[in-house]
Amino acid sequence: MAAVHTRREGPVLIVTIDRPEAKNAIDAAGAALINAAMDELDNDTSLFLGVITGAGGAFSAGADLKAASRGGPAARADRGPFGLCETPPGKPLIAAVEGVAFGGGFEICLACDLVVAVEDAQFALPEVKHNLVALGGGAIRLPRRLPYHVAMEMALTGAAISARELQAYGLVNRLAAPGSALAEALSLARELLRNGPTALAATARIMRASAAAQEESLWRTQRELAALALTATDRAEALQAFAERRPPRWTGH
């Protein structure tokens, strides 16, 4: 079975990340499939909005670090990291989150327009624990979604925060009972579909453009600054330690 698959429910495209044995970690092939699904959503005039979710009780643990430790290609495609983070679709996109949304999984949520999550879902940007940088827009979007110091603590500690806490900050729109995130997201989708589809897309694009002011230059700045960490000796050590299931031995280089 493909690592990502799609199905339609009327004018809604449901995109499911389906690697439960790896907590839906995303590799280059998975990113390409997400990218293709976002292209389908944008290009098919019979589709009005999308929902992205994960199979097996998790949303996504983010990048496949085991693949990265073997020298595999980065989990990115034409739309950027994880197949959508730099260039989300023009139509509204809802994240339906069960379990963990870590690293790239959280960054996918940040790239979505609406987030529905079960109460005990956990969100985190743990990249710093592996001497990595959140290159899927997490460091760019998080301080625009949360109070600055809350965002900074999440990004610098790599600690997880619950969906209930994030709802209090306005990052999660709706909470759902365990196992029902997708059903609740589809219920929200049906509310949106009572409205005109072209107006939905136009409104989402305008609001995104407002929220993303200066974002293009921030992506460039991010690449320049992240290069310092991503070319460091500590990055190779972090990936090796992850593969060997041991604590990393940092050198500061």
Annotated catalytic residue, options 86, 127, 237, 244 = 127
Cβ(112)–Cβ(83) under 8 Å? no
Alpha helices in the chain (DSSP H): 28-43, 65-69, 104-111, 138-145, 148-157, 163-168, 181-192, 197-211, 215-230, 233-244
Residue 244: partners with Cβ closer than 8 Å, 6 or more residues away:
none
The tokens for 237 are 């050590």
Segment holding 9, helix H or strand E: strand 4-9
Q: Is 165 a catalytic residue?
A: no
Annotated catalytic residue, options 40, 86, 98, 107 = 107
- CB atoms under 10 Å from CB of 45, counted, come to 9
Backbone phi, then psi, for 109, in 5-degree steps? -60, -40
Q: Is 107 a catalytic residue?
A: yes
Q: Amino acid identity, residue 214?
A: Q
Q: Which positions are annotated as active-site residues?
A: 107, 127
